[in-house]
Structure 1
Amino acid sequence: MPKARKRKQPLQVLARPHSSSSKPEASRKVIRRYHVLLKSQAQLEHEQSPQSREERARIQQELDEMGGLEAYQKMSSIGQSSDRGGDTGKVLISWLNTHRLARAGDQRLKLLEVGALEPDNYRSCESWLEVTSIDLRSRHPKIKEQDFLLLDLKENHEAWNVISLSLVMNFVPEAKSRGRMLQMAHSMLRPNGLLFVVLPQPCVSNSRYLTEAHFSALVACAGFDEVEKKSRRGGKLTYWLLRKSSRRLEGQKIDEKFTKKNVLLTGNRNNFCILLPLV
């Protein structure tokens, strides 16, 4: 008798992270698929047809089978040396040492780390940095479980010297929510405060709706001056250090090109986009 063939397991189960030995290719695959599913979920959020409800349920089932947010976090943490281009905090520390903000007496600079996966990324700087780490789902008691977009703007108005959005905006499924993060960061930073932004390089090098030049113009419209930028041909990530400018957003008219999707590049490209909500 011929041997019975083993039944193939679903891809999601095979890719699901069970240990820290997961290969970089596997973690990248989970992260990419997770982003695709979140985007599809956001697009269907306000549709009420039976077909859209069925599709939302299918997407949620696939997310659950992949391990949900916990699986994404674990893969991102495992991949810090590869998928995430190493610990991006090292780049921020280097830039902060170059552009040291003024401190009142011996007070430490207040840093809000958004999307924190590990609690001790800035341990070496604790003598001059007071770090508050938040994430959608905390993996450590030192990381507060908090959605950045739900932070109270009055409580946080000009409360921070530095805000880190390292590989955060690409995780947010809606383009206007990404732009809202920039507007919120502007409100929450003290005068001349610094915003650290990291995005996967394809978001700005291979998107229909975003280029590096467009990003620079967009953040200027959101009230930031570009201080530092780091990327390399063929690299995985692009880094920016932005300074809150003296320009005020209140009453400022936002250029329409930053509020609506406009095709900047054609061809086989991704759809990553950042839009500024009207304020």
Structure 2
Amino acid sequence: MPKARKKKVPITSDGRDIASPASSNPHTTRTVIRRFHVLLKRQGQLENNPATTSNAAELKKINEEIAIMGGLAAYQRMSSVGQGTDRGGGSERVLINWLVNMGFSTRDNMSKLGLLEVGALKPDNYASCSSWIDATPIDLRSRHPAIREQDFLLMEVNENRGKWDILSLSLVINFVPEPRDRGRMLCLAHTFLRESGLLFLVLPLPCVENSRYLTFEHLSSLMTTIGFCEVEKKWKQGGKMAYWLYRKVERDTCSDFSPFRKRSACRQGSSRNNFVILLQDL
């Protein structure tokens, strides 16, 4: 009787099935997500460069590794595990707490707040606030019938202009491979929010604290240029996450996007990462 073929295990795995959230430990989760970020960034670079034999070969290899790892679905599963209550819960807790402190949960005779949750891994993140928040969760690849499968960057602009009270971009920007698409996402968020609407932004802390091209001051200036005023912020030294709440304000018609169109080093050092957000003229 022939021997059963041994199932290949991705190099990013510790030997367990990465497709099962229950079997994933925190170290495995972080390792897989970091590897996905590296692969997707390189994938985007190769797809936007002129086709050559070497580029095509590298792109094929990257696509194969992404497929072996389980594709976007595997990333979503790992991220979903990270949102579990045993890992500290999802970032929506921070947003809910800020909104409660701002008095939104106790408003009388007011309609519910329309919230667009981009990159939703669970359909019920805001279920506890259903009496005052009407949440619409979307994701590139829906894992639940209640999550609409939608690419935020392809949403109809006129249909969504000024439509939303709150827009959540929690651990979304850092997963977008192209820096200019990250900037476009923030600009679309400004367009989609109603007057004085709120943007909830969450990034891994190293994206700002240890980037070669982005600092807290640089991000603040970039957001001001787009048309956002900082309302709240939260992170701690040595932590993993950074949270911001911005209010949409009228954009200055003379806003100069030129300082944010190209990479400009803010820090030096070989240990820095290359995370950056770039803007282009509207």
TM-score between both structures, scaled by the size of structure 1: 0.92
Match for residue 183 of structure 1 among 181, 187, 207: 187
Q: Say if 2:172 is the partner of 1:155.
A: no
| Distance across 1 between alignment mates of 2:193 and 2:86 | 29
Instruction: Give structure 2 stretches of 5+ with no counterpart.
Output: 1-5
Partner of 1:207: 211
> Per the alignment, do residues 9 and 141 of structure 1 end up closer, same or farther by CA in structure 2, a change over 3 Å counting?
closer
Distance 1:68 1:232 in 2: 32
Shift of 1:12: 4.2
The structure 1 residue matched to 2:41, chosen from 31, 39, 42, is 39
Report deviation, 1:246: 2.4
Which of the residues 56, 63, 68 maps onto 2:66?
A: 63
State whether structure 2 residue 92 is matched by structure 1 residue 117.
Answer: no
Partner-residue secondary structure (3-state), 1:266: coil
TM-superposed CA distance for 1:237, in Å, is 0.2
Hey, what does 2:280 align to over in structure 1? 277
- Could you tell me how far 1:81 is from its partner in structure 2? 4.9
Q: CA deviation at 1:10?
A: 4.4
Say if 1:185 and 1:8 are closer, same or farther in 2 by CA, change over 3 A. closer
Could you say if the C-alpha distance between residues 62 and 8 of structure 1 is closer, same or farther in structure 2, counting changes exceeding 3 Å? closer
2:47 is aligned with 1:51: no
Residue identity opposite 2:267 in structure 1: L
Asked if 1:136 corresponds to 2:140, the answer is yes
Q: Share of identical aligned residues, percent?
A: 53
Moved more, 35-44 or 72-81: 72-81
* CA–CA separation in structure 2 for the residues paired with 1:156 and 1:120: 22
Summarize the Cα distance change of 1:235–1:83 in structure 2 as closer, same or farther, 3 Å threshold. Answer: farther
Q: Do structure 1's residue 225 and structure 2's residue 243 form an aligned pair?
A: no
Structure 2 CA distance for partners of 1:24 and 1:269, relative to 1, 3 Å: same
State TM-score, norm by structure 2.
0.91
Quick one: distance in 2 between partners of 1:265 and 1:69?
32
Counterpart of 1:240 (choices 210, 232, 244) is 244
Matched residues in 2 for 1:222 and 1:96: separation? 23
Mapped to 2, the partners of 1:77 and 1:259 lie a distance apart of 34
> Which residue of 1 is the match for residue 23 of structure 2?
21
In the alignment, the residues of structure 2 paired with residue 128 and residue 255 of structure 1 have an alpha-carbon distance, to the nearest angstrom, of 37
Residue 147 of structure 1, CA deviation: 0.5
Q: Deviations over 1:69-122 (max 9, x none)?
A: 000000001112599863100100011112346979431110000000001100
Count of residues paired in the alignment: 272
- CA deviation map 1:13-33 (0-9, x unaligned): 636513212110001000000
Q: Name the structure 1 match of 2:11.
A: 11
1:87 aligned residue:
90
Aligned to 1:3: none
What amino acid maps onto 1:11 in structure 2? I
Pairing 1:97–2:113 present:
no
How far, CA to CA, are the matches of 2:87 and 2:59 in structure 1?
Answer: 29
Does structure 2 conserve the Cα–Cα contact (< 8 Å) formed by 1:16 and 1:71?
no
- Tell me the equivalent position of 2:176: 172
Q: CA RMSD in A?
A: 2.2
**Which of 251, 260, 263 is residue 262 of structure 2 equivalent to?**
260
CA distance in 2, matches of 1:178, 1:16: 32
Asked if the contact 1:15/1:30 (under 8 Å) is kept, the reply is: no
Deviations 1:183-234 (A, max 9, x none): 0010110000000000000000000000111101110001000000000011
Segments of 5+ residues of structure 1 without an aligned counterpart are 1-5
For the residues of structure 1 that align with 2:8 and 2:127, how far apart are their CA atoms? Answer: 45
How many angstroms apart in 1 are the aligned matches of 2:260 and 2:88?
Answer: 29
- 1:198·1:237 contact (CA, 8 Å) conserved in 2? yes
Please list every run of at least 4 consecutive aligned residues from structure 1 whose deviation after the TM superposition is greater than 6 angstroms: none
Give the conservation status (yes or no) of the 8 Å contact 2:179–2:276: yes
